[in-house]
Structure formats: structure tokens, C-alpha cells
Chains A and B, each alone.
Chain A
Amino acid sequence: MSQSTEITSMASGSPDRLTGLRTFWHYFSVNRGAVIGLFVFILLVLAALFAPLLAPYAPDVQDKTAFLRPPAWQAGGSTQYLLGTDPVGRDILSRLLYGARFSLLIGAVVVTLALTGGITLGLLAGYFRGWVDVAIMRVMDLILAFPSLLLALVLVTILGPGLFNAMLAIALVLQPHFARLVRAAVMAEKSREYVVAAKVAGAGHIRLMLATILPNCLAPLIVQATLSFSNAILEAAALGFLGLGAQPPTPEWGTMLASAREFILRAWWVVTFPGLAILITVLAINLIGDGLRDALDPKLRRS
């Protein structure tokens, strides 16, 4: 959010960061959904941070006397296991709390990788144009020519299954969106007066790209980063579900769903809760994304 401050304060020409932040919050808080999303997201971050304190059990502890125990409010359940247990007697609530760590980690790592790659390539393509531009953007088009999940699957097949490789694959698949955005923004900004002025004042290529142009392209990037954050969580869960992402016994939500599949008609809770956790997380982030779009970029503001 400090980045957004820069944009607003730069736009108004005022150096006062607090005013910018206040303007941002004013627009952001108009969107009730976005505020709810932010609240849920903060709760999730807290759950992830304090999982060892909050969770009643360790995520991999098995109770051999309590296989597939239903949740507390259903007949046969007890408050010992609030959301019930899985087929090998692990507490579902504890696993979900620890799982929040993986989902947020996935989102953060994927977005960081995709953002770094996309900004670098987009800046180079938009700033230098010519064959650099053609070469970079053709490769980006190519990545976008494949359905994202299919490409991620194939990449994981090459790299080998696992959480880290899944994150790499997803970052690669999401990265062209950033490159395209940055390229378009750089091309639009490049001929503006402030850039020309900086050039005349003797700024080098690197300085022009990173210090002069980039900060003014940030608004759409932040919105895209939010969308990619939730996309990354969904895709990583899908890979986990297919058995190619995080490997059991990791309490990653998609992986939890995969091992629960055969019990769907016998024990609804082992399937329902991990998926609900994914949905709530993704929804919260998408709500924040909508609010950010409204607050940061008047051009993208939804009618």
C-alpha cells in the first residue's frame, strides 16, 4: 500500500505521503466488499502466522482411535475434533490452519517471481522496442497460447512434482500478463514530458526505466498482482489435487482434497472444509483486487 501512496502523491505533486494514503483509503473503503475481503485476509495471515498456537494438534499427528470422525455438531462428533478427522485420524482444523501458511506462501512466492520477471521483460520490451520487443513479446504470446493449467502441468512433468516446482511453473505461466502490462504502460509513458526532461537532465537507461517510468506504471500492476495472487493459489491447489503439486502429507489444501476424494460419499467433511478454505481465501483476495482497482486506477474503475 506504500506503493500506492507514491502514485497518488506523485500524481498530485504533493510530497505528503499521509494525504495519499488517506485518499487511497477513502476510495478503497467505499467498496464494502473490499473491506470485508481485507479483514478476512488479515485473519488468514494471522492464522498462518500463529498456526502452532491456534491449532489444537500438530498437522501430522494421527489419532488411531479416531478415523473419519465427523465434525463436533454432527452425531458421532466431539469437541475434541471441531471439524472432524481425516481418513488417518488427523485433526482437520489443525491441518487447515497450517495449510493457510502454504497458500499464502504460494501466492507470495509466485507473485514475486512473476512480477520480477514480468517487470524486467516488459521494461526491456517497451523501452528498447525493435527486435528486443519482438523477441520478448513473441515468447509471451506463445506462453499465452497454451491453456494455463495445461502448461503448468507439462512444466511440472519436466521439473518433477512438488510444491516448489509447481510455484515455478505457475509463475512462468502468469508472468506474461505482467510483461504485457508493463510494456504497454512504458510505451505510453516514454514520450511524456517528465521522461524527456529526465533524459535531457542526463539520466541513464537504467535510471529512466526503474526510477522515472516504472513508479508511474504501478497502479495496474498492483491490481494484476492481486489477481495473480488468487490465481496462483487456485492453480497450485489444482496441481496439488491432481497429485503434481505439494506432496502428502503436506497439509496443502489442494493436496488434502486429493487424498479425501475417495471418501466423498462417506465423509462429506474431509472434502468440504479444505475446498471451503480455498474458496474463502481466493474470494477475499479477489474482493481486495476489486477494491484496489476502484481506488488506484480511475481508468479501470468499474461503472
Chain B
Amino acid sequence: MLKYILNRIALLIPTLVGITICAFAFVRLLPGDPILAMAGEHGVAPARYEELKEQFGYNLPIWQQYIRYVGEVATGDFGVAISSKRPVLEEFKTLFPATMELSFFALVFAMVLGIPAGIVAAVKRGSWFDQSLMGTALVGYSMPIFWWGLLLIIFFSGYLGWTPVSGRIGLQFFFKPITGFMTIDTLLYGKWDAFRSALSHLVLPAIVLGTIPLAVIARQTRSAMLEVLGEDYVRTARAKGLSPSRVIGMHALRNALIPVVTTIGLQVGTLLAGAILTETIFAWPGIGKWMVDSIFKRDYVVVQSGLLLIALIVMAVNLIVDLLYAVINPRIRAS
């Protein structure tokens, strides 16, 4: 197992180098001078320009610049945001929990509905439930989620007036974050009305972000379940006279869930890409909105480091999913 883990980590090194090259190249590929691009619309005085050139090392050969950049990133120096003058890493740390919280609830929504629906569809294969579920899943899979979010706002916020239109919590509530998760922090402070406010802000964005993963998980669970139900050991279990619920729950489900775990892991990229749109629609203060805002503010230091940090997160999550997969499926370790 240790050998597998080390091997798997070694395979990541080229990707890691590639990701840093991409982030490094980004600022240099922008049209025009990188320092002027980073300075934004205000421009920069000639003396300051030379100073910055020195400071960022743009006078060095390109490979030395890259090594310098990797050194900075490795020591946790992701630069200072132009617009807020705060270190990028600090901004990231305050915004990332918001995206985590949103993604977590989106994934819970997708799993809680998707897995049981997929199981029932597989067991009752060909029934009207199966057919309508697969139809609905295809609609969910084809959904432009930015439009879906607007529709939900029109109906639940505009027409019914049930949920707020944007933000994470009512403006009347203000407290120092502990974990950065609104739903947890409000409980830690023991403020029930604030907790309810946080939850009501969370419902619509979580549904919107969870829609595509829900469709994917339901489809994947169904097909994994169908495959397992045709296996010999399931037939044996049936022949032994076990009750259908025991066959499905004990024998089939446990094996069917293995590929589903991978599917769920692969949704992390989908979630982070979806967060860009969802957070923009609901003015959710997370890293997706941060990236889009920074692009429009031409704060390229943030875009560069955000790109790098998000890619690192996706990579780390994929690694964890792979390792988990090896834990639950011994056949993988052998190969």
C-alpha cells in the first residue's frame, strides 16, 4: 500500500510542474507588459516601473524567473492583491470556506437524492420510475446552471418570497468567523436566528450547484447497480433465499458503490467550475466569484494565484479519491 501511495504521488510531479508553469506563464502571456498589466488601469510611474521590474525579477532570464516563482510559491508567498493590497493567500483563506461550505451542501444534496434514486431505478429497471428518473437526470445534466439559478430566484425569492436573493447571511448578523462555515459558526455562537438565516441563504445556491452532480450520481449509481445485480454472487445470494432487501443492501450495494465513490470524487472539478457561475449569480463571497471579479478588475496577481491554488486543490482531492479507491478496492493496489 505504501508503495502504491508513493508511486501515485510521484506521478503527480509532472502535473505539479505543469501547473506552476501555467500559472507562471499566465501573467507573461497577457497582452502587453506584465508589470503594466498587473498595475491595472492606474498605470505606474517610470521610476516605480523599474523598481517593480527589479522586485518581480523581470530583468532576469526566463528560467531564473520561473525558479524564483516556484521558490516563492513553495514558501507560501502568492503575492499581494493589487485591488485590496492584502496578501492573496490571506484573501483565499477567508473566501475558501464559503466555497467549501457551498460545495459540501451541494454534494450532500446530490448524494442524498442521487444514490437512493439510482438504486431504485436499477432495481425497478424499465418501470415508469426508472424512465422518468433517467429522463429527469438527462435534463439535469443538460442544464445551464446559471439560468437554473435565475429561475429558482424568480420563483422562490421573487414569487414566493421564501429565500433571500444573495449573500451568505442576513446583514444584521455580524460575528468573527471561527471555522468560516456560517452554518457551524452560528451554532457555535448559539445564535439560532442567525443559523436559520445562513441556512436560508444556502438552500438555493446548493441546489443549483448540486444539480449536475445529482444527475451524474443518479445515472452512475443506476448503471453500477445494474452491473452488480447481474453478477454471480448476487444470484447466489438470491438462490440462498435471502430477502430482496438484504441482497440489495448487503451484497449488491456495497460493490456498486465503489465506482460511485470515484464519480463523486470526480465531481470536485465540476463543483469548482460550477461555483464560478453559482457564486456570481447569488453574490456568494467564495473563490469562484473572487476569480471572476478579479478578471474584471484586472487584478492578475489574484487570477494567477487563484488558478494555481484551485488546480492544487483539484489535484489533492483527486489524489485522496484515488487512495480511498485503493483502500476499498484491493485489486487496484496490485496493478
Contact = CB atoms under 8 A, between A and B. Distances in A.
B183 to A, nearest CB: 24
B59 interface: no
Given A149-B277, A286-B142, A290-B138, A157 B303 contact: yes
A147 B147 contact: no
A288 B223 CA distance: 19
Interface in B140-167: 141-144, 146-148, 150-151, 153-154, 157-158, 165
Nearest to A260: B150
B139 A147 contact: no
B276 to A, nearest CB: 6
B154 A147 contact: no
B311 interface: yes
A46 B274 CA distance: 32
A51 interface: no
Given A148-B273, A264-B153, A287-B138, A157 B158 contact: no
Contact of A271 (B139, B150, B227, B307): B150
A229 to B, nearest CB: 12
Contacts of A244: 295
Contact of A147 (B18, B142, B226, B273): B273
Interface residues of A, number: 44
Contact of B144 (A147, A282, A287, A290): A282
Q: Is the interface of A mostly helix, strand, loop or mixed?
A: helix
B291 interface: yes
A275 B151 contact: yes
B258 interface: no
B306 to A, nearest CB: 8
A238 B277 contact: yes
A257 interface: yes
Contacts of A141: 14-15, 18
Interface in B33-85: none
Contacts of B296: 243
Given A244-B295, A303-B226, A157 B22 contact: no
Interface string B8-48: 00000011001100100010011100000000000000000
Contact of A145 (B147, B151, B314): B314
Given A139-B18, A150-B273, A286-B142, A257 B310 contact: no
Contacts of A154: 26, 303, 307
Nearest to B281: A261
A160 B31 contact: yes
Scoring A33, A146, A274 by chain B CB atoms within 10 A of each residue's CB, the highest score goes to A146
B55 to A, nearest CB: 23
A241 B223 contact: no
A157 to B, nearest CB: 5
Contacts of A275: 144, 146-148, 150-151
Given A146-B310, A158-B26, A279-B144, A271 B269 contact: no
B154 A283 contact: no
A130 to B, nearest CB: 16
A237 B270 CA distance: 16
A42 B121 CA distance: 31
Given A149-B273, A264-B150, A142 B142 contact: no
B280 A286 contact: no
A54 interface: no
B144 A265 contact: no
A268 to B, nearest CB: 5
B253 interface: no
Given A138-B18, A303-B227, A282 B310 contact: no
A1 to B, nearest CB: 22
Interface string B116-154: 000000000000000000010011011110111011011
Nearest to A230: B142
B169 interface: no
Interface string A31-58: 0010000000000000000000000000
B272 interface: yes
Interface string A275-293: 1101100110011001000
B152 to A, nearest CB: 10
Interface of A: 33, 138-139, 141-142, 145-150, 153-154, 157-158, 160, 230, 234, 237-238, 241-244, 254, 257, 261, 264-265, 268, 271-272, 274-276, 278-279, 282-283, 286-287, 290, 302-303
Interface of B: 14-15, 18-19, 22, 26, 29-31, 135, 138-139, 141-144, 146-148, 150-151, 153-154, 157-158, 165, 223, 226-227, 269-270, 272-274, 276-277, 280, 291-292, 295-296, 300, 303, 307, 310-311, 314-315
When A and B form their complex, which 5 residue pairs have the shortest distance between CB atoms, in order from nearest?
A: A275-B147, A147-B273, A142-B18, A149-B273, A282-B142
